[in-house]
């Protein structure tokens, strides 16, 4: 089972795809990320979860305009896995709606059908972990969230895990770094990277859109590790006209 593979060796370069909420993703952001991935050729492309919204099976009341079928949501997420070339997938709370729905509506199917099986994650060779779990490259831990949210999620997650952490969920983008006292730590610092969001502002049903425009940040994460054990993680914001600066090069939508 790929989901039991929890620890991987350090990676040279990984790109972290933030919450996309397919089919309510921002198409321009996805196009931009595709171009960056094609150019940088990272060893790992990690979805940090909420790749799919699973709106159709949420408990929210839905107006006619907000109707979407689960079929379409799975198809969109499947497309997203392919177009971004996802290699690792830490499921988020939105994907866990699928398991909750089965438990409540069809408990006899529990264990027979899951979000992972709906997307054939194992057959596709995608390493994945359930919501609430994590995986690590070297000393860098990836999870949709570490059980905390809000503006201080980075520093609190870092202190909870005691190592470098990468997470999504809050839809904010930022980075927090902190020295380590231990003399034998390879880098002498650990960091927390909050990788932002690539959803579509005009397709938010669950929050006031003005508030979302002020706090949901388009962007993504870049993680680099050196053979000596240092992890450099950063959040890369995406501009309003869909540009991103990586290693001195300005990428745009082709």
* Residues lying near Fe ion in the complex (CB under 5 A): 19, 50, 92-93, 169
Helices 27-40 & 70-84 angle (0-180, nearest 10)? 30
Using the minimum distance from each CB to Fe ion, give the nearer residue, 19 or 99: 19
Burial track 91-124 (b if 16+ CB lie within 10 A, e otherwise): bbbbbbbbbebbeeeeeeeeeeebbbebbebeee
Using the minimum distance from each CB to Fe ion, give the nearer residue, 151 or 245: 151
Give the DSSP letter of residue 34.
H
Looking at the DSSP bridge assignments, the partners of residue 250 are: 245
Using the minimum distance from each CB to Fe ion, give the nearer residue, 19 or 26: 19
Check the CA dihedral 51-53-56-59 and report its sign: positive
Q: How far is the CB of 226 from Fe ion (least distance, A)?
A: 31
CA angle 29, 88, 134 (to 5 degrees): 110
Using the minimum distance from each CB to Fe ion, give the nearer residue, 23 or 138: 23
The closest alpha carbon to 174, from 47, 18, 43, belongs to 18
Q: How far is the CB of 19 from Fe ion (least distance, A)?
A: 3
Using the minimum distance from each CB to Fe ion, give the nearer residue, 92 or 233: 92
Q: How far is the CB of 18 from Fe ion (least distance, A)?
A: 8
Q: How far is the CB of 61 from Fe ion (least distance, A)?
A: 20
Using the minimum distance from each CB to Fe ion, give the nearer residue, 202 or 241: 202
Q: How far is the CB of 195 from Fe ion (least distance, A)?
A: 11
Cα separation, 26 vs 148, in Å, equals 26
Q: How far is the CB of 107 from Fe ion (least distance, A)?
A: 25
Cα separation, 122 vs 1, in Å, equals 7
């Amino acid at each position: 089972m790929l989901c039991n593979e929890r620890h991987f060796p350090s990676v040279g370069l990984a790109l972290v795809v933030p919450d996309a909420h397919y089919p309510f993703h921002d198409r321009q952001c996805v196009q931009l990320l595709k171009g960056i991935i094609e150019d940088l050729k990272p060893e790992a492309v990690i979805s940090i979860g909420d790749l799919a919204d699973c709106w159709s099976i949420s408990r929210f009341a839905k107006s006619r305009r907000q109707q979407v079928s689960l079929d379409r949501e799975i198809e969109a997420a499947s497309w997203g896995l392919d177009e971004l070339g996802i290699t690792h997938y830490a499921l988020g709370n939105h994907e866990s709606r699928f398991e909750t729905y089965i438990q409540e509506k069809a408990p006899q199917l529990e264990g027979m059908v899951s979000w992972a099986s709906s997307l054939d994650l194992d057959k596709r060779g995608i390493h994945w972990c359930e919501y609430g779990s994590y995986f690590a490259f070297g000393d860098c831990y990836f999870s949709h969230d570490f059980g905390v949210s809000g503006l201080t999620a980075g520093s609190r997650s870092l202190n909870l895990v005691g190592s470098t952490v990468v997470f999504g969920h809050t839809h904010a983008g930022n980075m927090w770094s902190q020295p380590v006292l231990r003399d034998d730590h390879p880098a002498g610092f650990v960091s927390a990277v909050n990788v932002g969001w690539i959803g579509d502002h005009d397709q938010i049903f669950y929050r006031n859109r003005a508030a979302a425009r002020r706090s949901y940040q388009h962007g993504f994460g870049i993680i680099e590790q050196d053979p000596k054990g240092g992890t450099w993680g950063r959040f890369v914001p995406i501009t309003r006209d869909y540009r991103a600066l990586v290693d001195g090069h300005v990428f745009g939508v082709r």
